[in-house]
Structure 1
Amino acid sequence: MRKGISLGANATYQKETELFSDNSVMGFDMQVNYGPLDFLAEYNWLYRKNRLDISNHEFIPTTDRMLTLKAGWNWLRDNGRIWQIVTMYSNEIVDAAFSNQDLNPYTRAQSQYLWEAGVNYLIMRDKLKLGLHYFNGNRYRFGPTGNYEYVNASVQFMM
């Protein structure tokens, strides 16, 4: 099992399109591994200058933010396979100018949060992964009925 800390910076940029004059993401992340424990934190700013109308050249800048926290426990079996118990919290917060509507009308970003808990079974390390996860979240713009939950079974194969 690994022991260490990794720090990262994230950045992307997209040139002007019909919808945006600027479309970029900036953020940072940190991953901590200590034996069987994994922890990840990531924070991103999504910055866009949105075209108000396709027929003109007026733009309005907006910034949406995202936070993700993940924790996992890896249980290495004698056969080299790994049981992985994981949990995650993630939220998205729309630009403050639209906080009363919880929806950025230009980017379609919505204020929302998501909790997830699950288990993965890693066969051949990360080459083949079976997962079973429970998700619970809320999209604020849908009000009290904005809650949602579901169970997801997954198979992931990487070459």
Structure 2
Amino acid sequence: MADSDEESSSAASSDEEELLLSETGRKILRFVDKIAKSKCFQRAAENEFIRRKFEDLSNTPLLLSVEVRELSGTLVVNIPAPPTDRIWYSFCVPPKLDLHVCPKLGQRELSFCHVSDWIEKKLQDEFQKVFVLPNMDDISVPLMHAGMDESLSSSWEDPAAAHR
């Protein structure tokens, strides 16, 4: 059994990159904080036109469109013996995963290559943590319980019911 929240070996190689990004993020936040505290910005924020634009921006949805262009690899499927309603699956090795992400601010598409590439890499790393052995994901197939005795089926789903 493996914990998908633990860092995998592929994620360990990107620790330096994450540290650099977090430091850069902190620098940007400090810079934005300094600007927000400046008198010039405070006066500008009191302007009705600018205030309305800030409100419009804060109510604008932030969307992320992800297109999976290709996913190919060897998949392992585990169907445990009855009584069960779960099928477990995972890739043996990291699959070929080609993603295209498109962040949007409202209807406007953001075209920052570095941001899109970073999001794609994070999604691929997370995919590997969840769907590559030793980690597995499962799906419930209620149809697998269709032919079972109802009392056996309900006691399997609720272990406390078996002792009543």
Does the TM-score normalized on the shorter chain lie above 0.5?
Answer: no
Given the two structures, how large is their TM-score scaled by the length of structure 2? 0.24
Q: Quick check: which has more Rg, 1 or 2?
A: 2
- Structure with greater helix percent: 2
Given the two structures, how large is their TM-score scaled by the length of structure 1? 0.25
